[in-house]
């Protein structure tokens, strides 16, 4: 196999690996952000509803009951409108899929591209590219904050495995 072609194929695989690294970490972070929002809203609903119910059975006819009922209604509406549970599921699924692609791309350029024949290598890089394109069209974009957190985490070394830090003797 032509060494320049092989080098370009390995570079392409490394790009897919890097892109999928940012994607899977961004999606996992997006799921965590949606989870925090979901739990925050749900706790607000529980508190507002509980106090409203407690005041309902008292002899007090105050604006507090009405205000808390409105707050509970607004928070419930936000949960219904944003559907954070579904967003959590989708971003976690996307994170798992991009993580799988990340592992496959790394395995390809670290092992397969070095030992398999030209036909296999060419077919495999197109397979990886097609999988990346499929995932990009299937899943929503991660939240901007999820991407920023992922970028900082990667920069801090969160994505580096311990074995990759060790010197091989």
pLDDT tens for 143-152 read 999 999 999 9
Domain ranges of the chain: 3-157
What confidence tens digit (pLDDT) does each residue in 79-92 have? 999 999 999 999 99
Give yes or no for residue 62 having a pLDDT over 70: yes
pLDDT in tens, 7-20: 999 999 999 999 99
pTM of the model: 0.86
Q: What is the per-residue pLDDT for 79?
A: 94
pLDDT for res 39? 96
Q: What is the 3-state secondary structure (H, E, C) of 137-163?
A: HHCCCCCHHHHHHHHHHHHCCCCCCHH
pLDDT averaged over the chain? Answer: 92
**84-107 vs 118-138: helix axis angle to the nearest 10?**
170
């Amino acid at each position: 196999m032509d060494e320049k072609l092989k080098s370009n194929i390995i570079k392409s695989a490394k790009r897919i690996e890097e892109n999928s690294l940012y994607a899977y970490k961004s999606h996992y972070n997006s799921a965590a952000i949606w989870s925090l929002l979901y739990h925050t809203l749900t706790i607000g609903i529980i508190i507002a509803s509980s106090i409203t119910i407690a005041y309902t059975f008292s002899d007090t006819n105050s604006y507090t009951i009405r205000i808390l009922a409105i707050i509970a209604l607004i928070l419930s509406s936000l949960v219904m409108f944003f559907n954070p549970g579904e967003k959590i599921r989708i971003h976690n699924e996307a994170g798992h899929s991009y993580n799988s692609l990340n592992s496959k791309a790394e395995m390809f350029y670290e092992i397969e591209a070095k030992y398999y024949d030209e036909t296999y290598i060419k077919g495999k890089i197109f397979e990886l590219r097609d999988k990346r394109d499929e995932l990009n069209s299937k899943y929503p974009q991660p939240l901007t904050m999820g991407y920023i957190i992922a970028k900082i985490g990667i920069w801090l070394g969160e994505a580096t495995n311990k074995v990759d830090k060790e010197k091989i003797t």
